[in-house]
Each structure stands twice: as structure tokens, then as C-alpha cells.
């Protein structure tokens, strides 16, 4: 239905002036030049103002129904239906309101006023044409959406959260048992956040759709009294959606913050220093002292050591970094330890090959690397 049709539909079936009269501005002016019609126009305008005010009040009452339902009466117009039928002017409106509306709709000056409003409207629509443009997607909302998706809060449930937890656990290291306990704890908390987020989102969407319907019905109802184009309704809907999307953005922001806090707490807990177990330290020391000339394990060697020790590759790198610097700083202090591991390695090597001698044992591969400790075959300095 185009604007003109809608406007014309609003005119049909109403008492007072004929359509021919309504279409003729002269006839309106003729009416206005008379004293009585001027009084009528004043009355009708007052009634419109009153209805507009009451509509807003009614809208508020619907959103925050503090008043007793006893104040509300049924519709006097069977065609408007109740709330279930979607008619906002139906069941639930004050009787006083319905009477005034009925009086207004039957007023003999209404078609004339409608015609004037149509003229004004046409000019207004022309002046605002082209103003409305499509808004580009908000970059902040996009960022929040991406983050929620990456963290596994929005989008498909499986994967995201546990992947993030696994990444956090891997970055921080730790024993597999501890990791799995904290991992599941993290997942449970993330699932809680996810649940709250989705339930709130649903509420917002429902509220948005209810409010949009309400406004649209209100505008449809008002279009019987004043001309309202579908474009205007669209614009109003867009405004409402924009308002609700700003609320939605706040929800998304809060959810992101909650995830960040959860994650940082999880990481902080993992960051707590824990000594490697004895076996892991032995494996690392063995490698270090048996490669004293070049204590820089390759990536493959690091991976192998990490697997043997049950730690991450980056922890192996940290350990070697610390070990090198501390050994270099205080060789004397590490001498005893170095001798111990040198003997151990020598014995191991001897077991593997009976032909192996102390001379070519990996315990003494030094040639220009870190200073090696002096030892005798029996392990004494």
C-alpha cells in the first residue's frame, strides 16, 4: 500500500466531508473561514494531542505495569481485538481513552484535518527524502562479536572454550593432572558465562521485538488520524533497533570483560611457580652436562626433552637459559653437580658399549664451550 492509498484508506468510511470535498483545498479553506469550523478544528486538535499523550502513558504502563489491572477496560471496537490479536488499541486501554478515540474518529471535521495533514506530510516527506541511509556495521560490535566467537561464548558450543583453556594451560605448563582439573574448572565457568550471555541476549531480543511491535501498532493506530508512511514506520523501527543494539553492545562488553577476568585468573593460577619433579630435573641436567661444550639443544632435542620431562618446549628453553647463565656465573658452585652427572653419563655410556672409554665419553665433549669440571674416573675431583 503506497502513501497515497494509505492516506485515502484513512479517509474512506468516515462521516463529515465527502472525498471530493477532502480533495479540494478550497473547501477546507471555506470551512476554516467560518467561525464554527475553526472551533471544531481546535477541538479536534486538542483531542489528537490528548490521544497522543495517553498513548505514551499507555506505552509506559505496558512496559512497567505498576498500575492495577482494574483500571483497564475492554475495547469498544470488536475489530481491534485484544493483545493476542496484535491490536494495541484493543483490550487493556482505558475506557475513557476509547470513548475519546471513538469521538475523534467520528468527528465531522476529521477528514478535512486529515487532508491538511496529508498536504503538510507530502512536503515534509520530500524534505526528508534521502536523509535515511544504511548505517555501516559498528566496528566495536564486530570486535566484540569476534572476541566472543574466539572465546567460544557465542557461536557453536564445542571447541572454543576448551581450546582457549588448552592454550592457556599449554602456555603455563604444569602437570597433566593439575592441568585437567583447572581446565575443566575453566570450561565450567566459561559455560556459565555463556549461559548467562545467551539468556540475556534472548531477553533483549524479545524485548526489542515486543517494543517494535508495540510501536508499529501504535503508529498504525495513529495512521487513522494522521498520515504515516511505511517509510516512517521503517525509520522508527530502525531507531528502536539502534537503541537496543547499544544495550546489546553493553551486554557483549560485559561478557568479554567477564571472560577476560576468568582467563587472567586461570593464567595467574597457572603462573604460580612449581618446581619440576626430580626425574625431569635429572633428565635436563644430564643433557646439559653431557653437552657442556654446546648446551644449546636443537628444536627436536627440546621437544624430546619436553616429552621426557612432561613439560613444555618453552619451559625447556627457560630451563636451559637459566642453567647456562647460572652455570657461567658460578662454575665453582656447579662443579660437584657437573662431576656427578659426568660420572653418571660415563657409567651409562660404559653400559651401552663395553668399548667406550672415558676419553671419548660424552662427559668430556668440551672444546671451547662452557668450562668443564675436572674429575677422575671414580668421580672425585
Which residues would be at the binding site for DNA (CB under 7 A)?
Answer: 172-173, 271-276, 281, 296, 299, 315, 317-319, 321-322, 324-326, 328, 333
CB of 327 to DNA, least distance (A): 10
Nearer to DNA, 90 or 173 (CB): 173
CB of 180 to DNA, least distance (A): 17
Nearer to DNA, 107 or 302 (CB): 302
Nearer to DNA, 195 or 322 (CB): 322
Nearer to DNA, 194 or 302 (CB): 302
Give CA separation, 135 vs 39, 139, 241, 323, in Å.
Answer: 46, 11, 12, 59
CB of 346 to DNA, least distance (A): 22
Nearer to DNA, 319 or 341 (CB): 319
CB of 277 to DNA, least distance (A): 9
CB of 341 to DNA, least distance (A): 13
CB of 363 to DNA, least distance (A): 21
CB of 187 to DNA, least distance (A): 21
Distance, CA of 367 to CA of 191 (rounded, Å):
57
SS (H, E, C) the chain: CCHHHHHHHHHCCCCCCCHHHHCCHHHHHHHHHCHHHHHHHHHHHHHHHHHHHHHHHHHHHHHCCCCCHHHCCCCCCCCCCCCCCCCCCCCCCCHHHHHHHHHHHCCCCHHHHHHHHHHHHHHHHHHHCCCCCCCCCCHHHHHHHHHHHHCCCCCCCCCHHHHHHHHHHHHHCCCHHHHHHHHHHHHHHHHHHHHHHHHHHHHHHHHHHHHHHHHHHHHHHHCCCCCCCHHHHHHHHHHHHHHHHHHHHHHHHHHHHHHHHHHHHHHHHHHCCCCCCHHHHHHHHHHHHHCCCCCCCCHHHHHHHHHHHCCCHHHHHHHHHHHHHHHHHCHHHHHHHHHHHHHHHHHHHHHHCCCCCCCCCCCCCCCCCCCCCCCCCCCCC
CB of 323 to DNA, least distance (A): 7
Nearer to DNA, 216 or 267 (CB): 267
Nearer to DNA, 71 or 271 (CB): 271
Nearer to DNA, 246 or 318 (CB): 318
Amino acid at each position: 500500500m503506497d502513501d497515497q492509498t494509505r492516506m485515502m484508506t484513512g479517509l474512506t468510511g468516515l462521516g463529515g466531508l465527502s472525498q471530493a470535498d477532502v480533495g479540494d483545498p478550497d473547501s477546507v479553506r471555506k470551512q476554516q473561514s467560518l467561525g464554527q469550523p475553526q472551533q471544531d478544528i481546535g477541538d479536534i486538535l486538542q483531542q489528537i494531542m490528548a490521544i497522543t499523550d495517553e498513548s505514551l502513558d499507555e506505552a509506559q504502563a505496558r512496559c512497567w505495569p505498576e498500575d492495577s489491572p482494574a483500571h483497564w477496560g475492554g475495547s469498544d471496537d470488536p475489530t481491534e481485538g485484544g493483545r493476542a490479536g496484535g491490536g494495541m488499541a484493543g483490550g487493556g486501554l482505558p475506557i475513557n481513552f476509547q470513548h475519546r478515540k471513538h469521538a475523534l474518529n467520528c468527528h465531522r471535521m476529521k477528514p478535512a484535518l486529515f487532508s491538511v495533514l496529508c498536504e503538510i506530510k507530502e512536503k515534509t516527506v520530500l524534505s526528508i527524502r534521502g536523509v535515511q541511509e544504511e548505517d555501516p556495521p559498528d566496528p566495536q560490535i564486530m570486535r566484540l562479536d569476534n572476541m566472543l566467537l574466539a572465546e567460544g561464548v557465542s557461536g557453536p558450543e564445542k571447541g572454543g572454550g576448551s581450546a582457549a583453556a588448552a592454550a592457556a594451560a599449554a602456555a603455563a605448563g604444569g602437570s597433566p593432572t593439575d592441568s585437567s582439573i583447572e581446565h575443566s574448572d575453566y570450561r565450567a565457568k566459561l559455560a556459565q558465562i555463556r549461559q548467562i550471555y545467551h539468556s540475556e541476549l534472548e531477553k533483549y531480543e524479545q524485548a526489542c521485538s515486543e517494543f517494535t511491535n508495540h510501536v508499529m501498532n501504535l503508529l498504525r493506530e495513529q495512521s487513522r488520524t494522521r498520515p504515516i508512511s511505511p517509510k516512517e514506520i521503517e525509520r522508527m523501527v530502525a531507531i528502536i533497533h539502534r537503541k537496543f543494539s547499544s544495550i546489546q553492545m553493553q551486554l557483549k562488553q560485559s561478557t568479554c570483560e567477564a571472560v577476560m577476568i576468568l582467563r587472567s585468573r586461570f593464567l595467574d593460577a597457572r603462573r604460580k611457580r612449581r618446581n619440576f619433579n626430580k626425574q625431569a630435573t635429572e633428565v635436563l641436567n644430564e643433557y646439559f652436562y653431557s653437552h657442556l661444550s654446546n648446551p644449546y639443544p636443537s628444536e627436536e632435542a627440546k621437544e624430546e626433552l619436553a616429552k621426557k620431562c612432561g613439560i613444555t618446549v618453552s619451559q625447556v628453553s627457560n630451563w636451559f637459559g637459566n642453567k647456562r647463565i647460572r652455570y657461567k656465573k658460578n662454575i665453582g658452585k656447579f662443579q660437584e653437580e657437573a662431576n656427578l652427572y659426568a660420572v653418571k653419563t660415563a657409567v651409562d655410556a660404559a653400559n651401552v658399549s663395553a668399548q667406550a672409554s672415558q676419553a671419548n665419553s660424552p662427559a668430556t665433549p668440551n672444546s671451547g664451550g662452557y668450562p668443564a669440571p675436572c674429575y677422575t674416573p671414580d668421580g672425585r675431583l
